[in-house]
């Protein structure tokens, strides 16, 4: 399934087109083959993503927003099938909103993460969704939870996801240090996502960043010409 | 014999290894891990050396099917030494790379092997060439290959600078190999590095416990 959505070789896509007058991508599933990232810092979290959505070789949306709000201080980063992740995010937003009203309190990030996990695990055969849940709550501060394909749940101080993430594991392992400040986290996220965008064909466009803390959510965008430049390209 | 998987997007053939080569001011560093595995489940050798000397100051790293790579380097060594005797001069690095390219391109249907060639010659100094699966030949200041290389593209892009010093380049290569070995289960063991300059060749072996450790490990 993953193969159908994002990883099929180019030649395979051409062969499966039934009609030569119509390009192959018109019959391909929309995918957010992507690069997403989330880091915890003392007091909140920083999340980042690229902005490319593809249907096969066509970029359906080059300014996608993959950082989706689930609640006031909880976001999710989506990778995998665009349809699947949007549907799951909508369901969780509803469930979490309801739960929060019942509790009469802002919900916990761990609750949101568990709701994602419940859907992703129950329907793991049908879904292709890799999600990072990040946010701030009063009990545990900034938290990042990773819900990859298959529906596992694990909390990590830093997590990367999507097809572009493979290229930046080395960079993240060497550059991440515990107890970074918010600005250091933003810089690291921007650098890592742009490195991945340069190497992964399914990632590109602009870098979207957000930081979430008890004071709220701050969003920013780094455009193509403002991205850091490297000597190898 | 490593399990192979074809990825026809950017990376070429994935194989159970991490190899790299980088030029610095006055020379080149070429290196690899030392693991040979069967299908990612069994490590058949913990200490294999994938950096092969094809001439006095020219080395190759192999990736892909170990059998194919060894057969090709054996043939290349022969061709190169013959060529060098005929020309009465040490071969150029690009000559070594071209020999590999010819073998890989002409036998592209049967072979599953890719190479990184690095060395020093009098004409152009330190150079790195890569001959991936189909038999293309491209010269680059720095290049990485093998299954473990996917995880260090970001690191290499961010950290490599042209004209580093020898020590900086050696540290960069060791770090890159260590990071890749930390994430790729079919790369591991020791880091074999060879530093080639005008004056000669130096082998550096960094055992597993002396490799740099990074936070997430």
Per-residue pLDDT for chain B (217 aa), expressed as one digit of tens each?
333 443 333 233 345 889 999 999 999 999 999 988 776 777 878 888 889 999 999 999 998 888 888 899 999 999 999 999 999 999 999 999 999 999 999 999 998 888 999 999 999 999 999 999 889 999 999 999 988 999 999 999 999 999 999 999 999 999 999 999 999 988 899 999 999 999 999 999 999 889 998 875 4
| DSSP symbol at A82 | H
Asked if B162 is an interface residue toward chain A (Cβ–Cβ < 8 A), one would say yes
In chain A, residues 98-137 whose CB comes closer than 8 Å to chain B: none
**Strand B27-32 to strand B36-38: parallel, antiparallel, or no bridges (unpaired)?**
unpaired
Structure-block tokens of residue B162: 């042209």
Chain A interface, best mutation among B138, B154, B212, by max A CB count within 10 A: B154
- Write down the pLDDT at residue A8: 38
Task: Tell me how far apart the terminal alpha carbons of chain B are, to the nearest angstrom.
Answer: 28
Q: Which of A32, A34, A53, A93 is catalytic?
A: A34
CA distance B139 to B127: 7
pLDDT at A233: 56
The pLDDT, as a whole number, for residue A227 is 86
Are the beta carbons of B9 and A176 separated by less than 8 Å? no
A 190-209 near B (Cβ less than 8 A) = 191-192, 195-196, 198-201
Whether the CB-CB separation of A16 and A184 falls below 8 Å is answered with: no
Assess A231–B contact: CB distance below 8 Å, yes or no. yes
In this prediction, residue B136 carries a pLDDT of: 95
Q: What is the pLDDT of residue A228?
A: 82
CA distance A56 to A11: 11
Surface-to-core class of residue A20, CB atoms within 10 Å of its CB (0-12 exposed, 13-18 middle, 19+ buried): exposed
B35: closest CA of chain A, how far (Å)? 19
Q: Does B5 touch chain A (CB under 8 A)?
A: no
C-alpha dihedral sign at B74, B177, B159, A172: positive
A10 CA to chain B: closest CA distance, Å? 8
Q: What six digits make up the tokens of B14?
A: 């994935």
B46-75 residues touching A, CB cutoff 8 A: none
Q: Is A64 one of the annotated active-site residues of the chain?
A: no
pLDDT for position A13: 42
What is the pLDDT, as a whole number, of residue A129? 94
* Whether B8 and A169 lie within 8 Å, measured CB to CB: no
Tens of pLDDT, residues A62-98: 999 999 999 999 999 999 999 999 999 999 999 999 9
Which residues between 77 and 106 in chain B have a beta carbon less than 8 angstroms from any beta carbon of chain A?
A: none
pTM of the predicted protein model = 0.83
Quick check: A171 and B183 CB within 8 A?
Answer: no
Give bridge partners of residue B36 from the DSSP assignment.
B45
Find the radius of gyration of the CA atoms of chain A: 18
Return phi, psi of residue B132, to 5°: -80, -165
Q: Tell me whether residues B151 and A167 touch, CB distance under 8 A.
A: yes
A224 CB near a chain B CB, below 8 Å? no
Residue B190: its pLDDT value, please? Answer: 93
| A149, two tokens | 């394909």
B81 min Cα distance to partner chain A (Å): 33
Domains (range + CATH), chain B: 47-208 (3.60.20.10)
pLDDT at A56: 85
Q: Which of A175, A191, A199 is nearest to A227 (CA)?
A: A191
Q: Would the CB atoms of A167 and B154 count as touching at under 8 Å?
A: yes
Predicted pLDDT at A231:
66
Nearest CA-CA distance, residue A58 and chain B, Å: 15
CB contact under 8 A, A173 and B156: no
Give A132-201 as a 3 state SS string: EEEEEECCCEEEEEEECCCCCCEECCEEEECHHHHHHHHHHHHHCCCCCCHHHHHHHHHHHHHHHHHHCC
Size of interface A-B (CB pairs under 8 A): 83
Mutate to test the interface with B, among A10, A50, A158, A170 (most CBs of B within 10 A): A170
Closest A-chain CA to B176:
A170
Query: Residue A97 in 3-state DSSP?
Result: helix
- Closest by CA to B121, choosing from B73, B78, B156, B83, is B83
Angle made by CA atoms A111, A117, A119, in degrees to the nearest 5:
110
Nearest beta carbon to residue B215 from set A9, A176, A231: A176
Mean pLDDT of chain A: 89
Catalytic residue among B15, B17, B18, B117: B17
Angle between helices B66-87 and B93-106 (to 10 degrees): 130
**Which residues of chain A register pLDDT less than 50?**
1-17
Cβ–Cβ of B157/A199 closer than 8 Å?
yes
């Amino acid at each position: 399934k993953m193969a159908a959505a994002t990883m099929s070789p180019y030649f395979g896509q051409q062969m499966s087109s039934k009609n030569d007058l119509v390009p192959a991508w018109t019959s391909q599933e929309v995918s957010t083959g992507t690069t997403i990232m989330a880091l915890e810092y003392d007091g909140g979290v920083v999340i980042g993503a690229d902005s490319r959505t593809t249907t096969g070789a066509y970029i359906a949306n080059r300014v996608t927003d993959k950082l989706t709000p689930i609640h006031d201080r909880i976001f999710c980063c989506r990778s995998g099938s665009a349809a699947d992740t949007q549907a799951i995010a909508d369901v969780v937003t509803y469930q979490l909103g309801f739960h929060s009203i019942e509790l009469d309190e802002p919900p916990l990030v761990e609750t949101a993460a568990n709701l994602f996990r419940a859907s992703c695990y129950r329907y793991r055969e049908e879904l292709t969704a890799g999600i990072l849940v990040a946010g701030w709550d009063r009990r545990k501060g900034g938290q990042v939870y990773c819900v990859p394909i298959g529906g596992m749940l694990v909390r990590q101080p830093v997590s990367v996801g999507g097809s572009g993430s493979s290229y930046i594991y080395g960079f993240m392992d060497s550059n991440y240090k515990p107890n970074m400040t918010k600005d250091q986290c933003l810089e690291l996220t921007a650098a890592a996502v742009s490195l991945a965008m340069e190497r992964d064909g399914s990632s590109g466009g602009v870098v979207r960043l957000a930081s979430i803390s008890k004071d709220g959510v701050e969003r920013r965008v780094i455009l193509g010409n403002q991205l850091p430049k490297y000597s190898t390209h | 014999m490593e399990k192979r998987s074809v990825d026809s997007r950017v990376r070429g053939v994935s194989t159970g290894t991490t190899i790299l080569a980088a030029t610095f001011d006055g020379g080149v560093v070429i290196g690899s891990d030392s693991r040979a595995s069967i299908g990612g489940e069994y490590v058949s050798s913990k200490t294999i050396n994938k950096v092969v000397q094809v001439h006095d100051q020219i080395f190759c790293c192999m990736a892909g099917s170990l059998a194919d790579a060894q057969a090709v380097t054996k043939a290349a060594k022969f061709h190169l030494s013959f060529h060098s005797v005929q020309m009465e001069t040490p071969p150029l690095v690009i000559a070594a790379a071209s020999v590999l390219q010819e073998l890989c391109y002409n036998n592209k249907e049967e072979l599953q092997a890719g190479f990184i060639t690095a060395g020093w010659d009098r004409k152009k100094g330190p150079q790195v060439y890569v001959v991936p699966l189909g038999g293309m030949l491209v010269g680059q200041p720095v290049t990485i290959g093998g299954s473990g290389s996917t995880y260090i593209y970001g690191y290499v892009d961010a950290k490599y600078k042209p004209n580093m010093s020898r020590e900086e380049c050696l540290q960069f290569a060791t770090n890159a190999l260590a990071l890749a070995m930390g994430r790729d289960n079919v790369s591991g063991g020791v880091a074999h590095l060879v530093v080639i300059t005008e004056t000669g060749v130096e082998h550096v072996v960094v055992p597993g416990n002396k490799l740099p450790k990074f936070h997430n490990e």
